[in-house]
Amino acid sequence: MNFQIEGGYKLKGSIVTKTSKNGAMGVICASLLNKGKTTIKNVPKIEEVFRMVEVLSSIGVSIVWNNNDLEIKPEKIDLKKINKESAEKTRSIIMLIGPLIHHFKTFSLPQPGGCNLGSRTIKPHLFALEKLGVEIKTKAKSYAVKAAKLQPNEIILYESGDTVTENTVIAAAGIPGKTTIKYASANYMGQEVCFYLEKCGVKIDGIGSTTLTVHGVKNINKDVTYYLSEDPIESMFFISSAVVTNSRLTVKRCPMDFLELEMLKLEKMGLKYKKSKLYKSLNGLTNLSDLTIFPSKLKALEEKIECRPYPGLNMDNLPFFAIIATQAEGTTLIHDWAYEKRAIYYKDLDKLGANTNLVDIHRLYITGKTKLKSAEVICPPALRPAAILLIGMLGAKGVSMLRNVYSINRGYEEIAERLNTLGAKIKILKD
């Protein structure tokens, strides 16, 4: 699938932030702990979710879609029938280890795919889960897992990663007793998993902090309905689209606990915006606000812009500052230290007329303000770098072609159609 984008038009009106891909994937995996029926409300219909649903359906999990609600009930799981093609397309497959150790003593899973962002070790998962009695061996194309004798424990995470935190919490939730997880990620997707597990009857202390205490239970068998929260990365996508097109746009239902630092940096760059009073998401826990973005004259920050584990600037939001920097007077240093390849993908912005200087695989200087131009570009195999190319094309006068947009469809639901409701001119073309 390709997008033909006639750029240079201002966006107008309002857009509602949809729920989070990353939150959905964590809760879907955690639902395998529950022998009862889990109904996950407002699940984004995106390629990443579709791949996981295909995997779960292939191994015998009952999956029913009701509009955007997903009903999940583990039946008799048979991993011999796993859809390997779908499994290999999503990195989230690794989070199935956490629940599956409560279904099998030994099993094998395909190695995951997802975004191609360089070396992404699974050692943190291995080190954490071995403290619970799980042994993981990495083979050429799969992971061999043994879980002969599980026990609660104190775990220090090798890194404060999102998926390793979720995987460890899910694993610990099914082990009776108290497991303490230190140096955990406090990010939004981990909080979603914790909120869901609490509805299942698992007590978790320290949600939103870097130390989690999970009081595991032996048997979860409960019909549960859980409302996913909104996606801060999608909110940032539309905020960035407004900035680059110099538009007035209201982005509704923004999860502010996970956007405050991003908005502060944009404010210091000169962005003018208005924030509504806080209100709660449908889960009753996440703080939301409506943000109205106004046309603004931006200047580059003197300090480098870098990502950090929460509560730092979100790693998935850092790429948006690369396209925003093209519209700020001066030179911005983007330091993407977490991945070996992602900063290289930012160089694709040069095809739209950006002025960038890649210092090494982690650091990129961007000098603005630049008048973006139309171009034909193939999407990189990474979600957020692909998304910023789309944003750049919205701000570039003329007709651009963005080819092979699967990586964008992994994380954003009907993104072209929704942008068109705001005044964008995007045609969806199929080869």
96-115: pLDDT as tens digits: 999 999 999 999 999 875 45
Provide the residue-wise pLDDT of the chain in tens; the chain has 431 residues: 999 999 999 999 999 999 999 999 999 999 999 999 999 999 999 999 999 999 999 999 999 999 999 999 998 899 999 999 999 888 889 999 999 999 999 999 998 754 544 444 689 999 999 999 999 998 888 899 999 899 999 999 999 999 999 999 999 999 999 999 999 999 999 999 999 999 999 999 999 999 999 999 999 999 999 999 999 999 999 999 999 999 999 999 999 999 999 999 999 999 999 999 999 999 999 999 999 999 999 999 999 999 999 999 999 999 999 999 999 999 999 999 988 889 999 999 999 999 999 999 999 999 999 999 999 999 999 999 999 999 999 999 999 999 999 999 999 999 999 999 999 999 999 87
Cβ atoms 11, 391 nearer than 8 A: no
Domains, in order of start, for the chain: 2-18+230-429 (3.65.10.10), 21-227 (3.65.10.10)
CA–CA separation, 53 vs 51, rounded Å?
A: 5
Give per-residue pLDDT as tens, 74-86.
Answer: 988 999 999 999 9
Residue of 110, 65, 67, 60 lying closest to 90 (CA atoms):
110
- Find out whether 116 and 96 touch, Cβ atoms under 8 Å: no
Q: Could you report the per-residue pLDDT of 212-236, keeping only the tens digit for each?
A: 999 999 999 999 999 999 999 999 9
Q: How would you label 86-122 residue by residue, b for 16+ Cβ within 10 Å and e otherwise?
A: bbbbbbbbbbbbbbbbbbeeebebbbbbbbebeebeb
| Residue 77 amino acid letter | I
Three-class secondary structure assignment of the chain:
CEEEEEECCCCCCEEECCECHHHHHHHHHHHHHECCCEEEECCCCCHHHHHHHHHHHHCCEEEEEECCEEEEEECCCCHHHCCHHHHCCCHHHHHHHHHHCCCCCEEEEECCCCCCCCCCCCHHHHHHHHCCCCEEEECCCEEEEECCCCCCCEEECCCCCHHHHHHHHHHHHCCCEEEEEECCCCCHHHHHHHHHHHHCCCEEECCCCCEEEEEECCCECCCEEEECCECHHHHHHHHHHHHHCCCCEEEEEEEHHHCHHHHHHHHHCCCEEEECCCEECCCCCCEEEEEEEECCCEECCCCCEECCCCCCCCCCCHHHHHHHHCCEEEEEEEECCCCCCHHHHHHHHHHHCCEEEECCCCEEEEEECCCCECCEEECCCCHHHHHHHHHHHHHCEEEEEEECCHHHHCCCCCHHHHHHCCCCEEEEECC
According to DSSP, the β-strands at 224-227 and 38-41 are parallel
CA distance 172 to 164: 12
Reference 243, options 388, 362, 114; nearest CA is: 388
What local confidence, expressed as pLDDT, does residue 294 receive? 98
CA atoms of 258 and 159, how far apart (whole Å):
20
Q: Looking at the whole model, is its pTM more than 0.85?
A: yes
pLDDT at 58: 97
